[in-house]
Amino acid sequence: MQSSVSVKDLSLNFGSVQVLKSLNLDVKQGEFIVLLGPSGCGKSTLLNCIAGLLDVSEGQIFIGGKNVTWAEPKDRGIGMVFQSYALYPQMTVEKNLSFGLRVAGMKRDEIESRVKRASEILQIEPLLQRKPANLSGGQRQRVAIGRALVRDVDVFLFDEPLSNLDAKLRSDLRVEIKRLHQRLKNTMIYVTHDQIEALTLADRIAIMKNGEIQQLSDPHTIYNKPVNLYVAGFIGSPS
């Protein structure tokens, strides 16, 4: 089967520092991949390259079989959810959800039906006329996910979407993201430094260290058969 997202020999340098080192990653259609590793190992950088927010130094990126290495973010068929909510503060939730679609020139009926569907799925219908300042952290993050959802993209990229939330909300939203994936069956690439999140969400986990993937396996294999001490230590495998 053709890969949904394919990263080939990707390197990225910030000045003289090589932050991604000839990295390869193949994500299958509909797969939930978690990029897991400590702060500074290059997770966000990799995600931002896939999103088109950073220019790569070397290598290629394919999405849906198309070479998008130099494509604009909007032409990549991806939706992105960040740690900070990045909502428009002056707009209602409804406007936050519809803004990108209006800019893209979509018909009003189509916009309305997409906003309706996304707000049902995420259970934010009662919040549509509120502004972000009047939402809780969890509600804001739902709206942020909704903004990716209305675009009806094949690939979702999440960068630590839950790390600003308290423990209870984090576990609630984790369950919802999992449900969302089971319902939409789209491809998800999800960055976290939280082992529990990785083990509960992922079809496969990529353990990263210093700009390289140390192991890419299903959670059971990562936990029970770590390839080295770094992976074992990071995932908390019994020694």
- What residues make contact with Mg ion under the rule CB under 5 A? 44
Q: Is 205 in the site for ligand ADP (CB under 6 A)?
A: no
Instruction: Find the shortest distance in angstroms from Cβ 44 to Mg ion.
Output: 3
**Polymer length in residues for the chain:** 239
Instruction: Find the shortest distance in angstroms from Cβ 40 to ligand ADP.
Output: 4
Query: Closest residue (Cβ) to Mg ion?
Result: 44
Q: Choose, by CB under 6 A, the member of 43, 142, 151, 170 that binds ligand ADP.
A: 43
CB 60 within 8 A of CB 69: yes
52 binds, among ligand ADP, Mg ion, none (CB under 5 to 8 A by kind): none
Rg (CA), the chain: 18
- Copy the structure tokens of residue 101: 């679609």
CA dihedral (81, 232, 171, 31) positive or negative: positive
14 binds, among ligand ADP, Mg ion, none (CB under 5 to 8 A by kind): ligand ADP
Instruction: Find the shortest distance in angstroms from Cβ 95 to Mg ion.
Output: 29
* Cα within 13 Å of Cα(141), Cβ side: 22
- Contact pattern from residue 16 through residue 35 relative to ligand ADP, giving x for each residue in contact according to CB under 6 A and a dash for the rest: ---x----------------
If the CB atoms of residues 43 and 147 are measured against ligand ADP, the closer one turns out to be: 43
Per the listing, tokens 């130099």 go with 70
Instruction: Find the shortest distance in angstroms from Cβ 208 to Mg ion.
Output: 11
Per the listing, tokens 């509960």 go with 200
Q: Which of 158, 176, 188 is CA-nearest to residue 81?
A: 158
45 binds, among ligand ADP, Mg ion, none (CB under 5 to 8 A by kind): ligand ADP
Instruction: Find the shortest distance in angstroms from Cβ 197 to ligand ADP.
Output: 14
* Alpha-carbon gap, residue 25 to 207, rounded angstroms: 12
- Copy the structure tokens of residue 190: 């999800």
Alpha carbon of residue 201 to chain centroid: 12
If the CB atoms of residues 5 and 208 are measured against Mg ion, the closer one turns out to be: 208
Residues of the shown chain interacting with ligand ADP in the complex, contacts defined by CB under 6 A: 14, 19, 37, 39-45
